[in-house]
Structure 1
Amino acid sequence: MTDDTSAFDLIDDALDERDLTALARIAGDLDPGPLTDVLERLAPAPRAVVYRVLPKLVALEVFERLDPALQAEILDALRDEEVTAVFTELDPDDRVGLLDELPASVASRLLRGLPRAERDLTAIVLGYPAGSIGRRMSPEFVSVAASSTAQDALERVRRVGADLDSAHTVPVVDGSRRLLGTVPLQCLLSAAPTVAVADLLQEVDTAEASDDAEDAARRCVGSKALALPIVDAEERLVGLLTVDDALRLLEDADSEDQARIGGVEPLRRPYLSTPITGLVRSRITWLFVLAIGATLTVQVLEVFEATLEQLVVLSLFIPLLIGIGGNTGNQAATTVTRAIALGDVGTREIGTVVWRELRVGLSLGLVLGTIGGLVTTLIYDGDIGLVIGLTLAAVCTMAATVGGAMPLLAKALRVDPAVFSNPFISTFVDATGLVVYFLIARAVLGI
C-alpha cells in the first residue's frame, strides 16, 4: 500500500468501525513516512488510537517525525508509563523541543522521571537561550584524542557512539576538550590501524552555542559537512549539529518567513491538524494591523477630497497605482529578505542595497510609466497621461527603495525581516503613493 490517500481512507474506515485488529494491520503495513502523514491528518483522539496500536519501534520512529505540538497531544492521551518510555527514548534536543510545548508541571515531571545521565544531557540543551543553536544541537557525540591511533579511535566509536546519529563525524579534542578538528568515520575505516588520528585531522568550521540557530544551520549546510561542531566561548566542544537537523531547522525557518511575508503567523503544525481557533489566531492579529494601516489611506483620500471633486477621473487610477506600488515594494522586500536568509547581504550593505533598488525601481517606473502614460493619453488626454506616467515612475522608485531597505533595518533592530515585509510595505506604499499621486496631479493640472 503506497498511496497516502487510500491509506488514510482505510484507517479512517477502521476507526469508524472500531476494528482495532484491522487498524493495526493497515497501520503496520505502512512505512513510517506515509504513516506520519496519515497521523498528521487525523484529529487528536483518533490519532492517539492509531498511535497506540503501532509496534513499539515503529511508534518511536513515527513519534520523532511528528511536530512537537502533535507529540504533546499524543503524550496527553497515553498512560504515564507509556509517556515515560517514549520521552526517555527521544534524543535530548528532541526532548527540549517537546518540553517547550508542554505545561511546566508536566515538563518538570517528565524530566524528573528520566535516568540521571539522560536528564543531565537534556539539561545541557535546556541551559541555552531559545533561538540559539545550543538549543538545537545534540550533546551526544563521541570524541577522540589527537594522540589516539586509528584503531583506538574506531574501538571508541564502536564502544561509545555506535548508536549515535552523529557517529559519521568524529571530533578530535585535546586534554581540555578544546576542538582541534574532525575526522570522518570513513577515513578511520580506511586508514592503517597504527596511523595517528592527528595525521588524519581535518579543519572544520564551527559555531558557538550562543549563535543564532538559523545562521548556524546555514553554515552547516553551506559547508557541505555531515555535522557542524558546536563549541562554547572557550572553544570547548559541547555538541554537534547534524546536517539532517540543520535541514529541518532551515525548513522550519523558511516556513515561518513565508507565513509572515503572507501576513499570517506560522502554524508550527500541519494545516489539517490545526484547530480552527489556531487558524483564526494566526491571522487575526495581522488583519488588525493591516486594518489600522489602511486608515492612513482613508485619511489621505479625505485630505485630497477637494482635488478628487474637481477631477473625478483621478479616482479611477487609484487601484492601479497603489496596486503596482505595493507589488513593487513586495518584490523588493521578498528578494532582500531571501538574500538576508541566504547570507548574501547583511546590515553593512544597506547603502548598496538601497542604491541598487532605487535604480531598479526607477527603471521599472520609467518602463511602466511610459506605457501607462501613453495608454492614458490615448483614452483621456495628455495631461492625465503625464500625471499617470510621472506617478508610476515615482511610486515604483519609492516602493522598491523602501522595500529593499526595510528588511535590513529590521535585521539591524534584531527583528524578523519577514515581519517588515509584504503586509507592512503594502500599507506604507498605499498611503505615501496616494500623497505622491495627488501632489503630482495638483502640480501638472493646476488644481
Structure 2
Amino acid sequence: MDKDKLLDLLEKREYKELKEELGNLYPVDIAEILEDVDEKQMLLIFRLLGKEEAAETFTYMNSDMREILIGALTDSELKEVMDEMYLDDTVDVIEEMPANVVDRLLMMTDEDTRKQINSLLKYPEDSAGSVMNVEYIALRPDMTVADAILKIRQVGINKETIYTCYVTEKRKLIGVVDIKDLLTSSESRMMEEIMDTNILYAHTTDDQETVASTIRKYGLVAIPIVDRELCMVGIVTVDDAMEVLKEEATEDISIMAGVTPNEDTYFGTSTFQHAKNRSVWLLFLMLSATFSGMVLDHFSPVIVAMPVLNTFVPMLTGTGGNCGSQSSTLIIRGLTVGEVQFRDIFKVIFKELRVALLVGLFLAVVNGIRVVLMYQGKTDNPVLLAFTLGLTLMCTVAMAKLIGCILPLAAKKIGLDPAIMAAPLITTLVDTGTTLVYFTIATHIFHLAV
C-alpha cells in the first residue's frame, strides 16, 4: 500500500478500511510512512493501530516523532504502548528523550519495570549491559522437557525470544537449550541431559560492537550476558546486534569522511550542527596542510629554476592520497570484521609493499609514456623528467600504502578507533611526504640548487 492511498482513505475518513490496510503492513513500513505526514495525520494513523503493532511501530520511529506522540497521547494510550514494548526498546526510547518526557514515561511503568530500567541505564554507554534485554526464558536443570515447554507457553509471549532458553542454577548460567532440542526430545528427559554446556557468553561491561560481532560470527539468535560473578542478567539478540553494527558502521563512515559522528538523521540535523560537525576536522586538516606549504617554500629555488616540476605536484599528491586511502579502507574493514589483527602487521606490510611495487611500476610506465609524448619539445629532457616522475610515483605509492596500512593497525593497538586514520588524515600526511620526496629526487637528478 502506498502513502497516497493511505492518505486518501484518511481524508475520506474511511477508518475501518484504513485500519484493515494498516494491519497488512509491517511496523517498520508504517513508521516510514508516518515520517512523511503531518502531526495530526500521524496521530490519527497511530491511534488506528493495534496495541502490539503500535508498540513495535513506535520503536522504529525517530526521536522527534516519538516526542510528538508522547506529548499527544493520553496517559492510558501511552501506558498501553509502554506495556507492549520490550524493556531494551523502552530504555532506548528513554535515553533519547528530554528529562520532562522521561519523567512521564517512567510514570507509565510499574515499580519492578522502573527498577529494571534504572538498572540498565546505569551500565556504561556502548557496553553490552546498555543494550541487553532482561526478558529471557530461564530453566532449571532439574526440569523435564514437558515442564520446560509448559513454562515457555506460560511466559513466552512476554519474552524477547523463545528460540534459545538458558539453564541457570542459583542465577549462574550453566547451559543453553534450543527450542529445536526441546521439541525433538522425550518429554521425560531432564534439562541437564540435553543442555549444551559449551556456552558463548559476554559480560555486561564488554563493548557492544564486540558482542555484536560475536553474534554475527557464530550465527547466534542471542547471546547471554553475565555479570562479574557469572550470574546471568540478560541477553543481546540478533536484531539488537544488527542495530549496533549499523550504528558503528555509520560512526566509522562519518569519521573516515572527516565528520564528527552524529546520531540524528541527515535531515534531522540542523544546518548549524552539520557545519559544526565538519568544521573541526576541516580546520585540523587545513592547518596540517601547512607542512606541505613549508616544503614547497623550501624548494622554491628549484621551482624557479625548473617551473615544469610544479605542474606535476597535484597529480603526485592526488595519486599518493588515493593509494593511502585504498590501503587504509581495506585495513579498517579487515579490522572491523576480524580478518586482520595487529599481530598481522608484518604480513600486511609485506603484502602492501608487493602491491605498491606492481601498482607503482604500472603507473610509472604509463605516466612516463604520457610525459615523453606530451612534453617533447616543451622541455630539454622529457625522458629524464619522465624518469623523475616515475621514481617519485613508485616511492609515493610505497610510502602511501605503508602509511595507509600501519596507522589504522597502530590506532587499534593503542585503543583508538581505526577509522580516525582514514582518508582525510592519511591524504594530508601523504601530501607532505610526496612533495618532499618529489623535489628531493628532482634536485638530485637535475642537479639543481636548493
Instruction: Determine whether 1:442 maps to 2:437.
Output: no
Structure 2, unaligned stretches of length 5 or more?
376-381
Partners of 2:271 and 2:41 in 1: CA distance: 17
Aligned residues: 437
Partners of 2:190 and 2:204 in 1: CA distance: 29
Among 192, 198, 212, the alignment partner of 1:198 is 192
Q: In structure 2, what is the equivalent of residue 181 of structure 1?
A: 175
Partners of 1:109 and 1:71 in 2: CA distance: 13
Partners of 2:47 and 2:154 in 1: CA distance: 34
Partners of 2:366 and 2:215 in 1: CA distance: 47
Once the two structures are TM-superposed, the CA of residue 26 in structure 1 deviates from its matched residue by 5.3
CA contact (8 A) 1:166 1:240 kept: no
- Does the C-alpha gap of structure 1 residues 372 and 185 become closer, same or farther in structure 2, counting only changes over 3 Å? same
Structure 1, unaligned stretches of length 5 or more?
none
Q: What SS class does the counterpart of residue 406 from structure 1 fall into?
A: helix
Q: Which amino acid in structure 2 is aligned with residue 146 of structure 1?
A: P
CA contact (8 A) 2:56 2:85 kept: no
Offset from partner CA, 1:361-411 (integer Å, 9 cap, x none):
233222212322333233331121111101111111111111111112222
Residue identity (%): 32
Partners of 2:36 and 2:290 in 1: CA distance: 40
Once the two structures are TM-superposed, the CA of residue 20 in structure 1 deviates from its matched residue by 8.1
Partners of 1:372 and 1:27 in 2: CA distance: 66
Q: In structure 2, what is the equivalent of residue 21 of structure 1?
A: 13
Which one is further off, 113-122 or 49-58?
Answer: 49-58
Q: What SS class does the counterpart of residue 96 from structure 2 fall into?
A: coil
- Does the C-alpha gap of structure 1 residues 364 and 69 become closer, same or farther in structure 2, counting only changes over 3 Å? farther
After superposition, where does 1:314-329 map in structure 2 within 5 Å?
Answer: 314-329=309-324
Partners of 1:320 and 1:258 in 2: CA distance: 26
Q: Which amino acid in structure 2 is aligned with residue 152 of structure 1?
A: D
Offset from partner CA, 1:85-104 (integer Å, 9 cap, x none):
43443322222222222224
CA contact (8 A) 1:14 1:23 kept: yes
Q: Which amino acid in structure 2 is aligned with residue 268 of structure 1?
A: E
- Does the C-alpha gap of structure 1 residues 192 and 14 become closer, same or farther in structure 2, counting only changes over 3 Å? closer
Q: In structure 2, what is the equivalent of residue 298 of structure 1?
A: 293
Q: In structure 2, what is the equivalent of residue 376 of structure 1?
A: 371
Once the two structures are TM-superposed, the CA of residue 349 in structure 1 deviates from its matched residue by 2.8
TM-score (norm 2): 0.88
Q: What SS class does the counterpart of residue 161 from structure 1 fall into?
A: helix
Partners of 2:37 and 2:275 in 1: CA distance: 20
Partners of 2:40 and 2:287 in 1: CA distance: 42
Q: Which amino acid in structure 1 is aligned with residue 21 of structure 2?
A: D
Once the two structures are TM-superposed, the CA of residue 11 in structure 1 deviates from its matched residue by 6.0
Partners of 1:227 and 1:377 in 2: CA distance: 63
Q: Which amino acid in structure 1 is aligned with residue 218 of structure 2?
A: S
Partners of 1:162 and 1:38 in 2: CA distance: 28
TM-score (norm 1): 0.89
Once the two structures are TM-superposed, the CA of residue 288 in structure 1 deviates from its matched residue by 2.5
- Does the C-alpha gap of structure 1 residues 281 and 78 become closer, same or farther in structure 2, counting only changes over 3 Å? farther
Q: What SS class does the counterpart of residue 119 from structure 1 fall into?
A: helix
Q: Which amino acid in structure 2 is aligned with residue 424 of structure 1?
A: L
CA contact (8 A) 2:133 2:160 kept: no
CA contact (8 A) 1:263 1:286 kept: yes
Partners of 1:55 and 1:81 in 2: CA distance: 15
Partners of 2:14 and 2:158 in 1: CA distance: 34
